[in-house]
Structure 1
């Protein structure tokens, strides 16, 4: 019997227990799903970084640590974690992110805030068509590519940037330092979907924010640390950045007195852009467990040298 330790916190256990058991059964896995076990008996750990479990050294027979979150920055540096670590790329999470990004891109593209908040008068300024609006995605992983596909289907001029070169994409894709500068200069709406790593910390600093065309919009459902908060606030105050829609922050919940809370050019959403759905995430866990037991390559295994 394969022992699977659910170490993602007691609050998530009622949500995940039934979907995980069903997914294991569907995959033909004889798995004993438990919340407590002798470490030396555990074959797989289903994990969330908020878990009390922080010492992985005793789990000498564990073949897989499956994170339930897309982000792994809070766990990847744990020196006791020598077992294979996989991040969650969940179809439900991806769908949620696509809906959030497309919704807010359309909101800014159409200038909907002006009408939602009841601007007086009869200002018949017609927005451009989507094919005349430039949208750039920073991050071309699974989430970025899914969002790019959806935006292209609406005829937006989509471009992208990633740290390393991406080939064979049906839209312009930049990479590296020079490529980032080029991408920033060529966008009306910027969407940041990068992971948090030492290389992406404060990626959008004052110099790079200044490269954006006047009035550009920033949408950040990626990681709060991607943006230098002081630099963004200064650009917003000066009108250089037209608006920022932010879903992730360095401190969460965002303090009530944080300047973002009250800035007229900022929309704050409470980290709701994309969440792991138990029903679809359970299928990913089951498939990765099957692969681990069969000695096959794992899905979305973390590259420790890159941090994601």
Structure 2
């Protein structure tokens, strides 16, 4: 099915054989100003339109694993929803909607809206100050496999300029990598699938994740050693990741601001940026963690 617009997506939902076989919330945007969530069940769906001021007075829609149009007490993600709501509404109020801030305050949010715990506060003294914490009601859970942030286009802009920031593997141990539609099927090598169906950066991120979750028996895999993630000595995995990631955001912003208008020249500039990303990421993981990204 072709899904160039929200209407195309709705047509696909209507024409799919029933039962669909999935209960999920689908977030959809298009290049015509459309943005909506679709709360989808086996036989029906409900549209929550970001352009409807009655449903989204600030143009903001947040969803986790449960639906608003179904049974209010069935589902998961209630605590994570509250955490995301607090973070996103604050970002909106402060007009801090750039990719770097959104990734750090959402995908790497380390606060718990129910217990008011925040791993970025009261840091362990060092990586040796072991502190295990259960994290499955945080936005990034032990089972989180990736995250992404899509930067769409406004009506009248070239849809091919749409880009995505991808965090493969585990958001707390991986670097944010930008990719563009206009670059075609070519991606940075570090996020490209190899013959074993693994991306090199994903493997590196999972190696570091295993260090954060060393207990494998029983409920151990749900408990993270916070001291290895963040500490007062600033030797934590996330602290190192965020320190080198700053250059990626800066250089990418510079590239976006100066992208040529012509398609061929634009693609060439992006592919050159991909080469820099590959080299920078490979070097960073080797120097910071002794991990070969290959």
Normalised to the residue count of structure 1, the TM-score between the two structures is: 0.23
Q: Which has the higher contact order (CA 8 A, sep 6+)?
A: 1
Flag the structure with higher helix content: 2
